[in-house]
Structure 1
Amino acid sequence: MLGRGTSPRLLAAAMLAVCMVLVGPSAPNGGLFAGPRHAAAAGDVVPNRVMTWNICNPCEVSDVDRAADIAAYAPQVIGLQEACVRDVERIREYLENLHGLVYHVEYGSVLRKWGRCGGAPWSPGAFGQAILSAAPMTDPVNVEYPDGGSEDRGYMAVTTTVAGQSVRVFNTHLAQRRQEAVRADQTRVLAAEAARHDRAILLGDFNAVPDAPELTGIWALATDADPQCRPSPTGTCLPTTDWQSKFDYVFLRGFVPLRHRVHPTPYSDHHLLHTDVKPV
């Protein structure tokens, strides 16, 4: 039974879980949520799986649905872009209360903007990146690029454990399309920092196709999780957006990919992208 001190948010999540049980399955495959669950059981994460997802903002999307999409693949680490702190807080609660998945969280907010994240005009919500990790995270940094382009942009980084190895994980969202020169400056900043680490994973929405010149420095120090994807016309790169471009990446340094998947979702104009990795 829930006590008198139970928070409204936890009470709402509990009531939602009860309703799901009473109503029964809603997905075509008979599960409560669409999409395969690759973890061994509810409450487990896949210990070598990393994911990136631009969750779309502003979008009229339920955080319950966002959490269900993440839980379907149960990554150990996920980098979110276009993330409002309030949304991530709710997603994290739903992952734990509805799916038994417990994550630590770090934020890489670069804006406080009412139009993006709501809140009171004098106290708008924080907007940017976030990293959720089943393992603890240390040494978090949040860096705003000197030039964000048409909107402030930056990267965040943490140290955590993936596939049994300590690794520096970066999460970024580069400048919007048609701002190639700005993105080139941003990737120089990001690559210089990532190059300091023998093991690094770079997650994010880079807003650039694989053969874009501004990604040259990233390709020089890391490889894409998709073994078929190369920065050349001969590469076969799966699209990660609704407009059939590859803008989202899991770049690996000191790791090799075991399996790479792209999952379109009705809850964002960017697809979920995850890969299972092992140390070199």
Structure 2
Amino acid sequence: MFKKLLSVCAAAILAVGAGAAPAAATPDATSVRVMSFNIHHGADPADNLDLERNAEVIEDSGAEIIGLQEVDNHWSSRSDFEDQAAWLAERLGMHYAYAANLDRDPAAGQTERRQYGTAVLSEYPILRTENHLLTNIEYEVRPTEQRGLLETVINVEGNHISFYNTHLDHQRSEQRQSQMKEILAISEEMDRPTVLVGDLNAVPGTPEMETVLSQFSDVFEALGQPDDFTYPVENPNRRIDYILTKGQIEPVSAEVIDSDSSDHLPVIADLEVSQTPNGLNR
């Protein structure tokens, strides 16, 4: 059954007997499988549209929270004017949040606004969502495309995690460095366990990656898998799609999924999220 985006908040009440000292709480850990997937508007490298293939990749992976990039919403005939985030959420029976980084007037003969951006799918309730439009440097030649950071707070079996999804500039390291600094400024305000996923259009060791790794940990690097490449699909030779974490999160395993349903290979990771001793992660 289709689950629309929810704004629900759960509260836990801890009762302590009169005159008795509260027992020391033992932090609990929750397992969750996350994914980052640039779906290329539902098209394969030859630009053959088939959103069902993307749904099958997600379904077969067992991913519970997914960050999607290059997601169309009534964009054009290239994706049959589909609301792709809503379609995938209904197909997979998940909650979702959509963030339009490009938002234009309807195409000729259409009534819905043309939008292009990112999305989060989740088996767990999405408590809050906000899209942060990132600042563009104004270049006279080859101007940059508007990019954003989709922020969600997700209740994973009582543990609240901040889950961020982004798709950074593909042309200039300078622009990506600026975007990374903004992402860090936004995410550092949260004290809960945090996951950042996305197509970062940067390989390990670049200045923009060094910037983000000043606060986040690269799951694939932490697990000794720095050469698990994600692009291009055929004979991949670089890693530009990431799952990054900070706070009380431990990586257990990570994998690049072999699929030709897009022009990027999706990545998944199993994570252990620790609960704070005093209850829910807020």
What TM-score comes out, normalization by structure 1 length?
0.72
Do the aligned partners of residues 139 and 260 (structure 1) sit closer, same or farther apart at CA in structure 2, a change above 3 Å counting? same
Where 2:54 maps in the other structure, the secondary structure is helix
Look up the SS of the partner of 1:238 in the other structure: coil
SS in structure 2 of the partner of residue 277 of structure 1: strand
Q: Distance in 1 between matches of 2:144 and 2:253?
A: 35
1:126 equivalent to 2:118? Answer no
Paired residue for 1:186?
A: 179
Note the alpha carbon deviations across 1:143-192, whole angstroms, 9 max, x for none. 11110752111111010134752111100000013x11111110000011
Percent of residue pairs identical: 25
Does the alignment pair 1:240 with 2:237? no
CA-to-aligned-CA distance 1:10-57 (integer Å, 9 cap, x gap): xxxxxxxxxxxxxxxxxxxxxxxxxxxxxxxxxxxx951010000013
Deviation at 1:118, TM superposition (A): 7.0
Map 1:53-64; keep pairs closer than 5 Å. 53-57=37-41, 59-64=47-52
Consecutive unaligned residues of structure 2, counting only runs of 5 or more, are: 1-29, 74-82, 138-142, 275-282
Residue of structure 2 equivalent to 1:73? 61
Alignment of 1:95-110 (within 5 A): 95=92, 102-110=93-101
Q: Partner of 2:215 in structure 1?
A: 221
Distance (Å, rounded) in 2 between the aligned partners of 1:250 and 1:120: 40
Letter in 2 for 1:256: E
**Do the aligned residues in 1 keep the contact of 2:169 with 2:175 (CA within 8 Å)?**
yes
Q: 1:171 aligns to what?
A: 165
Q: Which runs of 5+ in 1 are unaligned?
A: 1-45, 96-101
Query: Structure 1: how far apart are the matches of 2:159 and 2:227?
Result: 28
> Does the CA contact (< 8 Å) of 1:163 and 1:278 recur in 2?
no
Provide the C-alpha distance between the structure 2 equivalents of 1:170 and 1:186, rounded to a whole number of angstroms.
Answer: 14
Q: TM-score, normalised by structure 2?
A: 0.72
The aligned residue for residue 250 of structure 1 is 243
The structure having more radius of gyration, on CA atoms, is: 2
CA distance in 1, matches of 2:205, 2:168: 16
Amino acid at match of 1:197: M
Letter of the 1:125 counterpart: R
Kindly indicate which of the two structures has a greater share of residues assigned to helix. 1
Write the mapping of 1:1-280 to structure 2, written as runs, cut at 5 A.
Answer: 48-57=32-41, 59-85=47-73, 86-95=83-92, 102-112=93-103, 120=109, 123-147=112-136, 150-162=144-156, 164-177=158-171, 179-198=172-191, 199-227=193-221, 236-242=226-232, 243-254=236-247, 255-279=249-273
Distance 1:203 1:189, change over 3 A: same
Question: Which amino acid in 1 is paired with 2:226?
Answer: T
Report the number of matched residues. 222
User: In 1, Cα distance between the equivalents of 2:128 and 2:154?
Assistant: 9
